[in-house]
Chains A and B, each alone.
Chain A
Amino acid sequence: MSFETFADFLAMGKHGLYVWLCYGVAVLVIAGNVLALRRQRRRFFREAAALQKRREADSA
């Protein structure tokens, strides 16, 4: 451990804003990639299911 206290860890020796900004944005970007894929996947299944229902209704 290279920091004495948790407050030191957050402060990063006066560079806290820069370091945490970078990691924060990185988490957002990575999460954005993953969540976008999950949303698209769900939308595909929702739309495909709706389409199939409509087709079944048409043929019935």
Chain B
Amino acid sequence: MPLKTLWHRMGSPRWMYQMSGSWVWVLGVMATVLLIVGSLWGLAFAPADYQQGNSFRIIYIHVPTAIVSQSTYMLLGAAGLVLLVWRMKVADMVLATAVPFGMSMTALALFTGAVWGKPTWGTWWVWDARTTSMLVLLFLYFGLYALRQAIPRQETAGRACAVLALVGVINIPIIKYSVDWWLTLHQPATFKLTEAPAMPPEMWLPLAVNVLGIYCLLGAVLLAALRLEILRRERDTQWVRELVAAR
């Protein structure tokens, strides 16, 4: 299909809905298989870390969630830019649907990091660079969520969130850098949280599988949420009515 046709069809909610149905299942199955394989591999077959022992196996859930939560925010920023510049409906819907997933992944990354820290470094919480910037990221997600809840009109809420997501994305590198800077000021570098030493392949391969799996999960959850959002917004069109009647 020519690229231009694809671009125009992206603007058609009905076409998007019909095309994405099978993709949700493909991505969902891939996510399930990859995450189960990667986690079992990491939990049972990867060798224990010679310093941390078995608590190190938390890495296989901690790192993927941390990565995907940042990627999701980047996606929100990109969607915000697209919405403000080209006013694409899809971008508005991405902005509306990706926030809960990103928020839960950020919270999960913080939680697993804390639980990992307790047996390994003897503390639940460290004001270290990565932890702190993840915490700020969680607040950025809260802000997006709360702003959307506070504005009653859907179109206004979408564009307001687009501005906020854009500001957040510009800020993230500065936040990261400033927190890195602050770390060197306050803390001797005794705590190296996920500063990965050269890992052998039998340790990082399961990690790669889980990272891939969690991206598939992001795809599946986001597409499913987008499809629901399309239905809600097109509630009164003929094709949605037929769809509802056919159920």
Contacts and interface: CB of A to CB of B under 8 A. Distances in A.
B235 A48 contact: yes
B221 A26 contact: no
B228 A37 contact: yes
Contacts of A21: 115
Interface stretch (B4-12, B165-173, B193-201, B239-247): B239-247
Interface string A14-37: 111011011101100110111011
A41 B48 contact: no
A9 to B, nearest CB: 6
Q: Could you say which of A13, A21, A26 has the most chain B C-beta atoms within 10 Å of its C-beta?
A: A26
A2 B203 CA distance: 12
A41 B223 CA distance: 13
B137 to A, nearest CB: 16
A13 B54 contact: yes
The SS class assigned to the B binding surface is helix
B221 A23 contact: no
Interface residues of A, number: 30
Interface stretch (B39-47, B138-146, B155-163, B175-183): B39-47
Nearest to A3: B44
A19 B58 CA distance: 6
Q: Could you say which of A9, A12, A49 has the most chain B C-beta atoms within 10 Å of its C-beta?
A: A12
A2 B40 CA distance: 12
Contacts of A49: 244-245, 247
Interface of A: 1-3, 9, 12-16, 18-19, 21-23, 25-26, 29-30, 32-34, 36-37, 40-41, 44-45, 48-49, 52
Q: Which 7 A-B residue pairings sit nearest by Cβ, starting from the closest?
A: A15-B55, A12-B54, A48-B244, A13-B54, A22-B112, A26-B61, A22-B58
24 contacts: A1-B44, A2-B45, A2-B47, A12-B54, A12-B57, A13-B53, A15-B53, A16-B54, A18-B116, A22-B58, A22-B62, A22-B111, A22-B112, A23-B43, A23-B61, A26-B65, A26-B112, A29-B104, A29-B107, A34-B28, A36-B100, A44-B228, A49-B247, A52-B241
Interface of B: 28, 35, 39, 43-48, 53-55, 57-58, 61-62, 65, 100-101, 104-105, 107-108, 111-112, 115-116, 118-119, 217, 221, 224-225, 227-228, 231-232, 235, 240-241, 244-245, 247
Given A9-B43, A22-B61, 18 more contacts: A12-B54, A12-B57, A15-B55, A18-B58, A19-B55, A22-B111, A23-B39, A25-B112, A26-B112, A30-B35, A33-B100, A33-B101, A34-B224, A41-B231, A44-B231, A45-B244, A52-B241, A52-B244
